[in-house]
Amino acid sequence: MTAKNKILVTGGAGFLGSHLCQRLLEKGHTVYCLDNLYTGTDRNLNTLSKFSDFEFIHQDVCNPIHLKVDAIYHLACPASPIHYQRDPIQTTKTSVLGALNVLDLAKHCRAPVLFSSTSEVYGDPHVHPQCEEYWGNVNSAGPRSCYDEGKRCAESLFMDYHRMHHVDIRIARIFNTYGPQMCANDGRVISNFIVQALQNKDITIYGNGEQSRSFCYVDDLILGLMRLMETPKLHSPVNIGNPIEKSMNEIAKIIINLTGSRSSISYHALPIDDPKQRCPDITKAKELLNWEPIVPLETGLRKTIAYFQAVLVESQSVTQ
């Protein structure tokens, strides 16, 4: 997409959405950001509102969308466990009704549409690293299933709109991502550990800390999404994430070192169905998108720490 296009980003006020909107605006596109602000923030919107070609639409993706657009990035859905488990029925509705509304719009506008799916479709995986052909190991009755099964159902809808109505779909399976503009209170491991370390509070490790995740810096991730959108005829799911795997014990040590924190580590119960390991096989993205992450973990963490330092200073000046 080299011309100036009208692009809809659902969930554009959230962590990934706001980065994506900014990148698209910098490329000269007009961006419609549709968000109900359930987890998206005014802080993110304030930055984006400085661009004249940015328009905010305060709407829930569960309601039909009436716009004329050239392309759609569909990101709207609470994504951290504490946020998506707060109202699990609404989470499933957001995934399923949101997908239907976005796909109807894409069909009507004949616009390409990218869906932000998730590594959670692999559940607590028996195959490692996870390739796109692996069908996953999801507990359909557990507390994570509102998110996991919602996203799986949305993938199914995307594939069926492609097969039945020839909608030009893309499916990105996004693995753990971190960076500036994460919510300080979303309970995710990187935001929790950094905020705890900066305040010299205990670092809360769940379980024995040997479970692993693979963390992708947000700039790399956004580039991967845009490459996927720009790659024609790629209608099957593609993993987008960083294949360098770390345990939570390792992450805690790295963050304590980078912040120079005096925090100790405390161990807590592991949440139900918490996956033991997670690491993307990104062969498909490398070969078909010519994409792979380039930002080293330490570089990305330093930028994220600087962001949270600023957020903490801001919140202190508000409470004083």
Joined tokens for residue 316: 């202190």
| CB closer to ligand UDP, 204 vs 309 | 204
Joined tokens for residue 156: 């199914």
Q: Could you say whether residue 197 binds ligand UDP (CB under 6 A)?
A: no
* Residues in region 235-254 near ligand UDP by CB under 6 A: 248
Q: Candidates 51-59, 204-212, 297-305, 309-317: pick the segment binding ligand UDP (CB under 6 A).
A: 204-212
- CB of residue 268 to ligand UDP, shortest distance in Å: 7
Q: Tell me the C-alpha to C-alpha distance, in Å, between residue 311 and each of 127, 185, 194, 306, 318.
A: 39, 12, 12, 9, 11
- CB of residue 81 to ligand UDP, shortest distance in Å: 5
| CB closer to ligand UDP, 237 vs 241 | 241
Q: Could you say whether residue 205 binds ligand UDP (CB under 6 A)?
A: yes
Known catalytic residue at 147: yes
Binding residues with ligand UDP: total (CB under 6 A): 15
In angstroms, the CA 208 to CA 250 distance is 12
Q: Could you say whether residue 83 binds ligand UDP (CB under 6 A)?
A: no
| CB closer to ligand UDP, 17 vs 123 | 123
Q: Could you say whether residue 85 binds ligand UDP (CB under 6 A)?
A: no
| CB closer to ligand UDP, 112 vs 209 | 209
In this structure, what are the phi and psi dihedrals at residue 115, rounded to the nearest 5 degrees? -105, 130
What is the secondary structure of 61-113 as a DSSP string? TTS------SEEEE--S--SHHHHHHSHHHHHHHHHHHHHHHHHHHHHHT--E
Instruction: Give the residue, chosen from 170, 188, 246, 284, that forms a contact with ligand UDP under the rule CB under 6 A.
Output: 188
Q: Could you say whether residue 81 binds ligand UDP (CB under 6 A)?
A: yes
Burial of 23 (0-12, 13-18, 19+ CB in 10 A): middle
Joined tokens for residue 180: 């500036």
Instruction: Give the residue, chosen from 107, 206, 219, 303, that forms a contact with ligand UDP under the rule CB under 6 A.
Output: 206
In angstroms, the CA 194 to CA 254 distance is 10
* Residues in region 118-177 near ligand UDP by CB under 6 A: 176
| CB closer to ligand UDP, 49 vs 257 | 257
Over 237-267, what HEC string results? EEEECCCCEEEHHHHHHHHHHHHCCCCCEEE
- CB of residue 205 to ligand UDP, shortest distance in Å: 4
- CB of residue 312 to ligand UDP, shortest distance in Å: 17
Sign of the torsion angle spanned by Cα atoms 124, 38, 311, 17: positive
Joined tokens for residue 152: 């799986």
Task: Say whether 5 sits in a helix, a strand or coil.
Answer: coil
Query: Which residue in the list 38, 73, 147, 178 is annotated as catalytic?
Result: 147
| CB closer to ligand UDP, 101 vs 259 | 259
In angstroms, the CA 204 to CA 187 distance is 10
Instruction: Give the residue, chosen from 181, 211, 214, 239, that forms a contact with ligand UDP under the rule CB under 6 A.
Output: 211
Instruction: Give the residue, chosen from 204, 236, 277, 283, that forms a contact with ligand UDP under the rule CB under 6 A.
Output: 204
To which H or E segment does residue 33 belong?
Answer: strand 30-35
| CB closer to ligand UDP, 136 vs 271 | 271
Q: Could you say whether residue 279 binds ligand UDP (CB under 6 A)?
A: no
In angstroms, the CA 318 to CA 320 distance is 6
Q: Can you give the binding site for ligand UDP, defined by CB under 6 A?
A: 80-81, 176, 188-189, 192, 204-206, 211, 213, 248, 270-271, 274
Active-site positions read: 147
